[in-house]
Structure 1
Amino acid sequence: MQPSRTRAPFVATDGVIFWKVVSLFFELSLPVSASGLGLPEQAKMNSSSIDGTSTASKEICISLPPRVNSDGVWILNATSSLTNFSLPLLEMQLIFVFISNIVCYLILNSFGLITKFVSQMMAGILMGPHVFGGMKSFGELLFPLVSQEMLDTIAMLGYTLFLFLSGVKMDMGIIFRTGRKAMYTGALSLLMPLLLGMGTLQLFGNRWWGLRSSEKLELIFATATHSMTPFPVIACLLSDLNILNSELGRLGLSSAIVSDLFSGFLNSVFTLAKVAYDHSASRAFMDFGIIVVYLAVVVLGARPAMYWMVRQTPEGRPVKDLYIYIIILAVLGSALLSVWFDQLIVFGPFVLGLAVPDGPPLGSTLVYKLDSMVSGALLPLFVITTMMSVNFSGINLNSDLAMAHATAMVVVIVAKFAACLVPPLYSSMPMNDALTLALIMSCKGVVEMANYSIARGQNNIGEKIFSLAMFTILVTASIVPVLIRRLYDPSRKYAGYQKRNLIHHKPNTELRVLSCIHKPDNVPAVINLLERISPTRENPLAVYVLHLIELIGRASPVFISHQMQKKTLSNRSYSQDLILSFSHFQRNNHEAIAVNVFTAISPSKLMYEDICTLALDKLTSLIVLPFHRKYSIDGSIELEDNTLRTLNCSVLDRAPCSVAILVNRGHIRRSTPSVLASYSIAMIFLGGNDDREALILAGRMVNDSNVSLTVVRLIAEGEDSITDCSKMLDSEILKSFKYHSAADHKGCVMYIEEELKDGTETATMLRELIDNYDLCIVGRRYNVESPLTTCLEEWSEFPELGVMGDMLASTDFSGRCSVLVVQQQMTI
């Protein structure tokens, strides 16, 4: 018997799929029936509408034992092709699915639709019945009816693991730290659209009198699902838009967590009510008791066990693979248990994920081991296969059901958007930011899609509701990111009208410096540099230390002020050592230095947000960044971190004050008070805003009697005269150093002028000069042309250091002199 050529829709099921897999395993393990092993077995697929009025049967043939591997391409014939074997067929399906996903992403990305979810939905439509799926040969050969169950099983497993990882990344402690604005926004974003949507269905119930009771239940389910604001959807959206750790992104995450908790509670209540309606009240009460017991086991048993795993892991060592295997086994077991007490199959894994301690070492290890496969392969497969089952041609807005559904969706969307506007506007948030927050909370994604898909697989909703809901999700997910990018630019807040740099810093006032720390090696170099700034009671120094940690194993960024709480971030991190080092630095400079330590945990590509925001809030005049290269004692490169380099470039482009990049050659050392002028500094001056800023910083350092400063002014031949305003400012700022050089008999300040021809002579002079000093200060002078740097730009490796800084930091310069590259405030 030949298989039917009628292609059934792809439907993602829940626990039924897992039970079928288990049943198939036992069936293959038991002796076969009298029909004989390998003979075709007939199976019927019954597809009935939710009200049971119509039934369609399709007969397919399968062979036992199943033919998994082919015998090779050379012996295949017309009756035995690769598509007759399950493994080659599955591999070809995955290849086509992922190629279509990549193509759609590249095309949509060129139009500004950058979210991966939208590209996956479009890939599903491309592979669906409206495009390639409508071709008879494509559907019969590549996606035959017998292969759908295996593909849907893998996809549903991917979504289950995705929700588990979403629970791992969620920080439940944020509930107790969230403000009223986030609390009210999250609550209203669910309750208002739910109440108004249900009210709309009740109000117009008489108008759609022709609807059956099952169709009315479909509308109620669709209204409740569309009223949700799932945390995983909002977290993925903010991550795709690169505003995860912005002020608005943090508020959106907090609001989404609040709304998701309400949604989970209401979803469980509705599920139990449905069990009581379909079966009996006693079964619903039994399910409720099992849920309570499961929650107690997770909270009182699983979570302490996971903390025990954390304690058993030595600091800096990876978590044992045995612990990871145990947790994955618990995830699969909790999925089966969820089916037993009539909950969605994702309920148990999601709750178990919430119990996992977020962040390192356990949460980050789980995310590191699973996230690439889940988010990169299994979840896109789930989205694409779900969209392949959508039939948009079946949407008929002239029917009462479609009109009722469309009206309810419009009411829910408008009500959610308006409800999310009220708390921000009430708290005097700017209109653009309030509109952006409302758009963020109104976005739809994979969680809503999964709810509709599971309901479709359980015959709780029909094809019309399912297709119209998928269309609504597609439109919302496509438009919202574009509108958010038009309304919200997180970098615009860094541009101000106040000059926050060293040149305009008032004398005898507190100088505020923000120092960024990534690794323990950065601490000594930064402390020694800050000591050279010569803080005194008359010229105090306020140091804001920002410890930057990459966000791994959690979805919500964290920003901690260690002055606001006594408890440190984690006993397993080196934040405590950092705090102790700077506290000791403060005690050694009593009444001259004030130190405040902060910790920011955020994605590496978004760390610039934390740096620039803190600099803006604290009104700092200078940001000190470590260079992305670490040099060994002999001058060779020991470590290179390109992620840190990208971060430095982002800060230089957006910083609300001046920025300095410290290239530590390992020669910045603490001066010995008994030795006069034991620390020597050279300032290379060519002219311009950055050089003048660097000269002011160097002049502040020379206030220490143990520091000697040499200002080397490089002049191009034939350019001695003052020809513009910039050179006039250069001449004016150099007068004081010329005077101090002439009047200083101790030699602490020296002024030298060198007349050079071109870049070759400049490089030669610097090579001879660099070995005589401990620290060399230069201005960045990015894109500033000069005859003295002719041809040097072609050899520049790191534009963020400028031509001079790049040359001094190069490995070609074998000297051990550290380099400080200064850029004056740009965003004015």
Structure 2
Amino acid sequence: MNLDTILKAKKESISIAIAGIIFPFLTGSGLYALHRKFYINNNSFHLEEISTHAYLMWSLILTVTGFPNLVEILSELKLHYTGLGKVALTAAMISDTYNWILFALLIPFSSLDISNAIYSIISTSLFIVVCIFLVRPIITKYLEQKTEENELDEYVLLFVVMGLLLCSNITDILGTHDIVGAFVYGLILPHGKFADFVMSVSDDFGGGFLASVYFSGTGMRFMIKSVLTHANWALSLLVVLLLCVTKILGTLFATFLFGRPTKDGFAIGLLLNTKGALALILLSIAWDKLIFFVPTYAVLTTSVLLMTMVVSPIINMIFKPRKRFQQTKLRTIQKLRLDAELRIVACVHSNSHATSIINLIELFNATRLSPIYIFSLYLVEITNRATALVVAHMEKPTPKLGTQNTLTESQVELENITFNFHSFGNRDDRDAFTVQTTSVVSAYETIHEDVFNSARERGASLILLPFHKHLSPNGNLLETTNAVYRDINKNVMQDAPCSVGIFVDRNLGSFPKTNLRIFMLFVGGPNDREALAIAWKMAKHRNVQLSMIRICLTDEAAEVDQSVHSEEALQGMLSYVMDNEKQKELDEEYINKFRYSAVNNEDSISYSEVDIRTGEDVPRILKEVDQQGCDLYIVGQGNGRNSRIFSNLLEWCECLELGVIGDILASNIFGSSSSVLVVQQYGFGGMQFGKNNNAFGSLLVKTE
């Protein structure tokens, strides 16, 4: 648990958490009275004797929020990196902390007389103080030393389990509950590598076996027929429904005070209504101590299960996370106003990726009048339980000096990435850059959805992705870093809510004092216009020389590929023919604007044209261009270029996501030493990477 997140939480999250606790706690007594009034005892089932303990336990169960379960739900729906998700996460963490405090304070009052309960609370508080201020420094020093020396083994884990059992027994003897001791023991243990080691060893046995055995008792005691067989069963079901709305109403009130829409307030309340292990533990305590009998236990268990089960489908129905990336406006650099802030989502897998992306962003000519907002995402594959990893990466870690070795590898990498991006943003021209860094912890198969959410949440115009290959140590060849990174890039390109750029870095380096030369190769189409818009923006920097080379297709090269076989490909072909003339008009209009506004007024910008007649001319022309010397190529991805020569060349492409020209420039066979930025414009449709033997079929334009 990240206590810094709780201590530094904003007023909104704190208010939502408090309202979500107080309102259910106050209304719980009235609902318990209704339950007792509506339920009619029979020969098989009867209610417990009325007691203060029953009222207290009933209300306490209603206040609980299952933070681990909430994280799982938000992660599944890809909402935990949105504004709403972050508010819900922080409020749930605060609520969970309050729940544990209330649990430790009120459990003694639910089973003991007042004098013994006060003694239990005082002694438990002293135990917690001793653990935090006396035991924690000793055990932390010992375990961190073992971690730094890589001496973590089964014997260390044995001592950890013995400490767990000792703390649990102490709090049980003191009159609270053994799980309070286990919770405190978990708080005083060090995090980082040690925590990962304990979780990797214990999760399968603890979560897969022990937890299942423990909670199976909840299922065996749950007798729903006790609710449905008495005369007023419909009123008992009404009580169940009312139990489900108390926390939602409290949250709605708090969110209303902060001006949030009703839909958001309802969603946050529904999320905070998620129950988890603590609610079921409280039910088990109430059963074991004979505070609740079968009917009351069944009513509460039904409401707890219902509250948790309905959250995911209702939230999905309200927000439709997988269907909300409809084209409402063009999020492209071409359509961006000159004085508008350029918002970039920079995705990285390592600190070396962060360095290369920063070098690229440095070329975008940020000024105080035209600033750049950089939201960097460190993409981390989820390998352990989602709860632990998401909590560990909700905020960037702030390790103290000398404790770096106790951090996990991903935390150390995030620290380095954060340092690099914020050092970049804190330069002399800091007003031109705004930098924010976070990590995304998800399965690689679905991590692109988190990228989409982040881009949409921040109104980004461009997503930058690192190529899945890196330059070899000798600096001659590109070698595969991780093949999975290529799949991520493909997934992002297919449905991105803004334009996308894939950066092939060949040691572009930080911005030099001398001039840096950029070649922009323009064939035609929306992707090339977006690439030209980026090149144009970079060309406004005083140290950049831009050469815009237009590749004109003539004769055989201009012929449209008609080798289509499937009905889908034929429809794409017809769509292309109908749109071809319009695209040519847009190309001419934008190039004329570029030549009039840029080429004629800037000595650092040049324009030239080359003709291509056959497929053999493409690599030849590119070779001639490369011999002139270039630091960075900017090219369009080329989706929709359905000319015959590109269809034929596509069969030889190794990386379809780069397009024909991008693939040639990035190939080791071509032998270029220049970096490459491949651009795909939003609004024209993403590239289809399906298994299609027909080259043209893989270049179909998706229509909205």
| Distance in 2 between residues matched to 1:261 and 1:618, nearest whole Å | 30
| 1:627-659 deviations in Å (ceiling 9; x for gaps) | 2332312314252162x5565456546655433
Given that 1:557 and 1:600 are in contact with CA atoms closer than 8 Å, whether structure 2 keeps it comes out as no
Given that 1:172 and 1:354 are in contact with CA atoms closer than 8 Å, whether structure 2 keeps it comes out as no
| Distance in 1 between residues matched to 2:39 and 2:604, nearest whole Å | 95
| Distance in 2 between residues matched to 1:444 and 1:600, nearest whole Å | 28
**Match in the other structure for 1:503:** 334
| Distance in 2 between residues matched to 1:223 and 1:543, nearest whole Å | 46
Given that 2:599 and 2:605 are in contact with CA atoms closer than 8 Å, whether structure 1 keeps it comes out as no
**Match in the other structure for 1:777:** 634
- Does residue 592 of structure 2 align to residue 751 of structure 1? no
| Distance in 2 between residues matched to 1:720 and 1:276, nearest whole Å | 89
- Does residue 461 of structure 2 align to residue 629 of structure 1? no
| 1:467-495 deviations in Å (ceiling 9; x for gaps) | 45444444443332111100024578876
Output the amino acid matched with 1:414.
V
- Does residue 51 of structure 2 align to residue 225 of structure 1? no
Output the amino acid matched with 1:726.
Q
Secondary structure at the counterpart of residue 214 of structure 1? coil
Output the amino acid matched with 1:255.
A
- Does residue 556 of structure 2 align to residue 556 of structure 1? no
Output the amino acid matched with 2:176.
Q
Structure showing greater radius of gyration is 1
Unaligned runs of 5+ in 1: 1-169
| Distance in 2 between residues matched to 1:266 and 1:645, nearest whole Å | 49
Given that 2:81 and 2:453 are in contact with CA atoms closer than 8 Å, whether structure 1 keeps it comes out as no
Given that 2:331 and 2:499 are in contact with CA atoms closer than 8 Å, whether structure 1 keeps it comes out as yes
1:340 to 173, 176, 191: 173
**Match in the other structure for 1:482:** 313
| Distance in 2 between residues matched to 1:749 and 1:338, nearest whole Å | 77
Given that 1:702 and 1:709 are in contact with CA atoms closer than 8 Å, whether structure 2 keeps it comes out as no
Output the amino acid matched with 1:630.
H
Q: Against the structure 1 CA distance between its residues 496 and 482, is the aligned structure 2 distance closer, same or farther, given a 3 Å change threshold? A: same
Q: Against the structure 1 CA distance between its residues 219 and 820, is the aligned structure 2 distance closer, same or farther, given a 3 Å change threshold? A: same
Q: Aligned-pair distance for 1:246?
A: 2.1
Given that 1:515 and 1:623 are in contact with CA atoms closer than 8 Å, whether structure 2 keeps it comes out as yes
Q: Against the structure 1 CA distance between its residues 472 and 802, is the aligned structure 2 distance closer, same or farther, given a 3 Å change threshold? A: farther
Q: Aligned-pair distance for 1:665?
A: 2.8
| Distance in 1 between residues matched to 2:375 and 2:244, nearest whole Å | 44
Q: Aligned-pair distance for 1:224?
A: 3.8
- Does residue 372 of structure 2 align to residue 542 of structure 1? yes
- Does residue 94 of structure 2 align to residue 258 of structure 1? yes
| 1:522-576 deviations in Å (ceiling 9; x for gaps) | 2442343234445678x865353626374884543766699xx9999x9774667
- Does residue 79 of structure 2 align to residue 246 of structure 1? no
Secondary structure at the counterpart of residue 790 of structure 1? helix
Given that 2:364 and 2:537 are in contact with CA atoms closer than 8 Å, whether structure 1 keeps it comes out as yes
| Distance in 2 between residues matched to 1:805 and 1:370, nearest whole Å | 48
**Match in the other structure for 1:690:** 527
Secondary structure at the counterpart of residue 99 of structure 2? helix
| 1:354-379 deviations in Å (ceiling 9; x for gaps) | 33455x34444444444455445554
- Does residue 650 of structure 2 align to residue 789 of structure 1? no
| 1:373-404 deviations in Å (ceiling 9; x for gaps) | 5445554565557536645455543167x778
**Match in the other structure for 2:574:** none
1:658 to 480, 499, 509: 499
Output the amino acid matched with 1:628.
H
User: How do residues 3-402 of structure 1 correspond to structure 2 at under 5 angstroms?
Assistant: 170-202=1-33, 214-216=48-50, 220=55, 221-222=57-58, 224-277=60-113, 283-305=116-138, 308=141, 312=145, 320-321=152-153, 325-356=158-189, 358=191, 360-371=192-203, 373-375=205-207, 378-380=210-212, 382-383=214-215, 386-387=218-219, 390-393=222-225, 395-398=227-230
Output the amino acid matched with 2:352.
D
**Match in the other structure for 1:596:** 434
Q: Against the structure 1 CA distance between its residues 222 and 647, is the aligned structure 2 distance closer, same or farther, given a 3 Å change threshold? A: farther
Given that 1:534 and 1:701 are in contact with CA atoms closer than 8 Å, whether structure 2 keeps it comes out as yes
Given that 1:560 and 1:599 are in contact with CA atoms closer than 8 Å, whether structure 2 keeps it comes out as no
Q: Aligned-pair distance for 1:274?
A: 3.7
Q: Aligned-pair distance for 1:799?
A: 5.2
Output the amino acid matched with 2:282.
N
| Distance in 2 between residues matched to 1:270 and 1:580, nearest whole Å | 44
**Match in the other structure for 1:639:** 481
**Match in the other structure for 2:570:** none
| Aligned-pair identity (%) | 22
Secondary structure at the counterpart of residue 78 of structure 2? coil
Q: Against the structure 1 CA distance between its residues 715 and 505, is the aligned structure 2 distance closer, same or farther, given a 3 Å change threshold? A: same
| 1:761-812 deviations in Å (ceiling 9; x for gaps) | 6467657766764322221244664433215556666554445434544555
Q: Against the structure 1 CA distance between its residues 741 and 352, is the aligned structure 2 distance closer, same or farther, given a 3 Å change threshold? A: closer
CA-atom RMSD in angstroms: 4.6
Given that 2:522 and 2:550 are in contact with CA atoms closer than 8 Å, whether structure 1 keeps it comes out as yes
Q: Against the structure 1 CA distance between its residues 540 and 255, is the aligned structure 2 distance closer, same or farther, given a 3 Å change threshold? A: closer
Given that 1:515 and 1:543 are in contact with CA atoms closer than 8 Å, whether structure 2 keeps it comes out as no
| 1:266-321 deviations in Å (ceiling 9; x for gaps) | 333432124424xxx56444433431222112221344346536864788x86844
Q: Against the structure 1 CA distance between its residues 318 and 730, is the aligned structure 2 distance closer, same or farther, given a 3 Å change threshold? A: farther
Output the amino acid matched with 1:690.
N
Q: Against the structure 1 CA distance between its residues 556 and 494, is the aligned structure 2 distance closer, same or farther, given a 3 Å change threshold? A: farther
**Match in the other structure for 1:717:** 555
| 1:28-74 deviations in Å (ceiling 9; x for gaps) | xxxxxxxxxxxxxxxxxxxxxxxxxxxxxxxxxxxxxxxxxxxxxxx
| Distance in 2 between residues matched to 1:817 and 1:462, nearest whole Å | 75
| Distance in 1 between residues matched to 2:65 and 2:673, nearest whole Å | 56
**Match in the other structure for 1:421:** 252
Range that drifts further, 243-252 or 366-375: 366-375
| 1:83-107 deviations in Å (ceiling 9; x for gaps) | xxxxxxxxxxxxxxxxxxxxxxxxx
Unaligned runs of 5+ in 2: 561-578, 685-703
| 1:420-468 deviations in Å (ceiling 9; x for gaps) | 2221233222232222122212233443334334544555544444445
Q: Aligned-pair distance for 1:730?
A: 1.1
**Match in the other structure for 2:545:** 707
Given that 1:627 and 1:661 are in contact with CA atoms closer than 8 Å, whether structure 2 keeps it comes out as yes
Q: Against the structure 1 CA distance between its residues 706 and 697, is the aligned structure 2 distance closer, same or farther, given a 3 Å change threshold? A: closer
Output the amino acid matched with 1:428.
G
Q: Aligned-pair distance for 1:693?
A: 0.9
Q: How many residues align?
A: 642
| Distance in 1 between residues matched to 2:266 and 2:598, nearest whole Å | 59
Given that 1:558 and 1:601 are in contact with CA atoms closer than 8 Å, whether structure 2 keeps it comes out as yes
Secondary structure at the counterpart of residue 520 of structure 2? strand
Given that 1:737 and 1:751 are in contact with CA atoms closer than 8 Å, whether structure 2 keeps it comes out as no
1:525 to 331, 356, 375: 356
Secondary structure at the counterpart of residue 171 of structure 2? helix
Q: Against the structure 1 CA distance between its residues 530 and 388, is the aligned structure 2 distance closer, same or farther, given a 3 Å change threshold? A: same
| Distance in 2 between residues matched to 1:382 and 1:812, nearest whole Å | 61
- TM-score when normalising by structure 1: 0.65
Secondary structure at the counterpart of residue 724 of structure 1? helix
| Distance in 1 between residues matched to 2:207 and 2:92, nearest whole Å | 20
| Distance in 1 between residues matched to 2:598 and 2:239, nearest whole Å | 80
| Distance in 2 between residues matched to 1:294 and 1:595, nearest whole Å | 49
